[in-house]
Amino acid sequence: MNTKVTIAGVEFQNPIMEASGTFGSGMEYGEFVDLNKLGAVVTKGVADKPWPGNPTPRVAEVKCGMLNAIGLQNPGIDVFVERDLAFLEQYKNTRVIVNVCGHSLEEYINVVDRLAGENRVDMLEINISCPNVKEGGIAFGQDPKMAYLVTEEVKKHAKQPVIMKLSPNVTDITEMAKAVEAAGADAISLINTLTGMKIDVERQSFVLANKTGGMSGPAVHPIAVRMVYQCANAVKVPIIGMGGIETWEDAVEMMLAGATAVSVGTANFYNPTATLDILEGMKDYMIRKNIEDINSIVGLVK
Amino acid sequence: MKVKDTAKVISQSVLAEGVYSLIIETKAANYAVPGQFVSLYCQDHSRLLPRPISICEIDKDVSTLRLVYRVAGKGTDEFSKLTSGDTIEILGPLGNGFPLEGGKPMVVGGGIGVPPMLQLTKELEGSVTAVMGYRNDDMFLTEEFVDNAAELVIATDDGSVGTCGTVVDAIIENNIEADVIYACGPKPMLRALAQYAAEHDIKCYVSMEERMACGVGACLGCVCQSTDVDDHSHVHNKRVCADGPVFLSTEVEL
């Protein structure tokens, strides 16, 4: 049985990753998950300097999902390299994808340049889709021209293959996918969270201090499957699919729609072993369906 | 050590209006210390996020935890219907807990901040003064504090029992002296206590509360503002779930 997948020349032992922002750099989940068994650890977004993030409350539950407005709190690239990358050094079987965020093109480039000499970094994921920061983030992710520009600049500086992470908060996600592909992106990942809002009817006020937050969890899964399918039919670059994946069925569904690999996000919060549970379920499915190579199901449903 | 476990419900009872006492059997009990909490997961899967509930009592001999909580929404309402023999998914114990210091201790609880002070009272050395604040005479856990503390002082918002007013009013009225204060309760109470402690040069630990998602320090959902730069993100945000919930009162902005 082959569970290996390859994205932009980088080989992953299996297609299961966790989604940026839900898993830190893996340290907090090492008690529950053998990080060496994951396809990749995708780190929380890192900027060139520490970011304090948004005021609290930052999280709220909604039916079959949640809203978050963390605001990309992170320690900045220097601490990240010294602490988080050093920590990940011990997991040789697992690929490391560093999620990069910035308020401006210059800030993205600062991080990309800083990571150029870091051999432990296998790929970069550029976050142009965070709905919770006002500048940068989603501003780049909702305009195909801006997305093209960021991708093109990042590609000039990056020493690792570049994944562009797309926002679902657009009219036509295939336009964004095509723009970043044309600018040289090596892969795309989708979907980031959908902008949502929750109002407390007793207090008659917003639940989140930020008013709006990114919605994730099983409720968004069908939207993610649809968008992955659309992008798979619009671009040639490989896709990392995410959005509400909590079971192996969700992961297989995403791959059938066209994703080469999948990321597990919110499910980590209610099942810390979700990633490895999904991997086991996927292997059972392969045995039951007599699937020799997991790559054979990618985009199988046309 | 944290464990994800299917806990067995031993019993559940009502202590006051909307306040429940749930005893569960779980491996998590073997690792728990006072001031820690557990994440409880709902059976109804439309409610995804775990509910953080403080640990009221720990019995390592029989691997049980007692959780005393107030019904505050649909999740806790679901928990209140659990009966003996049911199971519930839990993750814990989580957070750091109260450090057991020497000197004369005072434990202070307000409302649903009362429960975590019970196990602490049982484990502290020396004669513990317990100061507990309630809305009115619909109180809970008072007998347990009478049994385990040297002294129990009560404050109620409506004056029906003890001092009419806040826990700080009760401390002043009863002239309570202490070397260390341990507290859990609403933020205004913690703020007032921190100020009282600073004025009287008393070391004060406070247990904080915030909306949580992961419960293990990964998502950065539940931060509180810290006076010094934090170790995780190098800003001024400490994670209530992982760096806390217990902090020195001088460590956090209240």
| Same domain as B84, residue B36 | yes
The model's confidence at residue A132, banded by pLDDT at 50, 70 and 90, is low
Q: Are B76 and B135 in contact (CB under 8 A)?
A: no
* Average pLDDT rounded to a whole number, residues B205-218: 96
Q: Are A239 and A228 in contact (CB under 8 A)?
A: yes
Interval A178-211: pLDDT, tens: 999 999 999 999 999 999 999 999 999 999 999 9
* Average pLDDT rounded to a whole number, residues A78-86: 97
Interface of A with B (CB under 8 A): 21-24, 28-29, 31-32, 44, 50-53, 56-61, 63-66, 68, 70, 73-76, 79, 217-218, 266, 268-273
The model's confidence at residue B102, banded by pLDDT at 50, 70 and 90, is confident
H helices of chain B, in order, are 74-80, 116-123, 142-148, 167-173, 187-199
Q: Which residues of A touch B45 (CB under 8 A)?
A: 64
pLDDT at A64: 98
pLDDT at B39: 98
Q: Which of residues 154-183 of B touch A (CB under 8 A)?
A: none
| Same domain as B87, residue B45 | yes
The model's confidence at residue B217, banded by pLDDT at 50, 70 and 90, is very high
Q: Which residues of B touch A44 (CB under 8 A)?
A: 218, 220
Task: With CB atoms and an 8 Å threshold, state whether B214 touches A28.
Answer: yes
The model's confidence at residue A140, banded by pLDDT at 50, 70 and 90, is confident
| Same domain as B115, residue B127 | yes
Where does a domain end: B77, B94, B111? B94
| Same domain as B72, residue B36 | yes
| Same domain as B80, residue B27 | yes
In angstroms, the CA A73 to CA B237 distance is 9
CA B242 to chain centre: 15
Does A83 have pLDDT greater than 80? Answer: yes
| Same domain as B30, residue B83 | yes
Which residue spans within chain B are E strands per DSSP? 3-16, 19-25, 37-40, 51-54, 57-59, 64-70, 87-94, 105-110, 129-134, 151-156, 163-164, 180-184, 203-207, 223-225, 237-239, 246-248
pLDDT at A18: 98
Where does a domain end: B94, B115, B142? B94
pLDDT at B146: 97
Does B126 have pLDDT greater than 90? Answer: no
Interval B155-201: pLDDT, tens: 999 999 999 999 999 999 999 999 999 999 999 999 999 999 999 99
| Same domain as B254, residue B243 | yes
The model's confidence at residue A133, banded by pLDDT at 50, 70 and 90, is low
| Same domain as B136, residue B53 | no
| Same domain as B185, residue B114 | yes
At the fourth CATH level, the homologous superfamily of domain A5-54+71-195+215-297 is: Aldolase class I (3.20.20.70)
| Same domain as B105, residue B78 | no
Q: Is the ipTM of this complex over 0.90?
A: yes
Does A134 have pLDDT greater than 90? Answer: no
Interval B109-122: pLDDT, tens: 999 999 999 999 99
Q: Which residues of B touch A269 (CB under 8 A)?
A: 48-50, 213-215, 219
pLDDT at B249: 97
Q: Which of B41, B222, B236 sits opposite A52 (nearest CB)?
A: B236
Interval A279-295: pLDDT, tens: 999 999 999 999 999 99
Interval A230-269: pLDDT, tens: 999 999 999 999 999 999 999 999 999 999 999 999 999 9
Interval B65-100: pLDDT, tens: 999 999 999 999 999 999 999 999 999 999 999 999
pTM of the model: 0.95
pLDDT at B158: 97
Reduced to 3 states (helix: H, G, I; strand: E, B; else coil), residue B123 is: helix
Best interface-test mutation with A: which of B51, B214, B225 has the largest number of A CBs within 10 A?
B214
Average pLDDT value for chain A: 96
Of B122, B125, B127, the closest CA to residue B176 belongs to B127
For the domain that residue B212 is a member of, what is the CATH number? Answer: 2.10.240.10
C-alpha distances in Å from residue A257, one per residue of A58, A280, B53, B82:
32, 20, 40, 41
The domain tally of chain B equals: 3
Q: Where are the domains of chain A?
A: 5-54+71-195+215-297
In angstroms, the CA B40 to CA B164 distance is 35
| Same domain as B169, residue B81 | no
Q: What amino acid positions of A are annotated as catalytic residues?
A: 130
* Average pLDDT rounded to a whole number, residues A145-173: 96
Q: Are B180 and B106 in contact (CB under 8 A)?
A: yes
Please report how the helices A248-257 and A274-288 are oriented relative to each other, as an axis angle in degrees rounded to 10: 70
Structural domain containing residue B166: 98-205
| Same domain as B125, residue B107 | yes
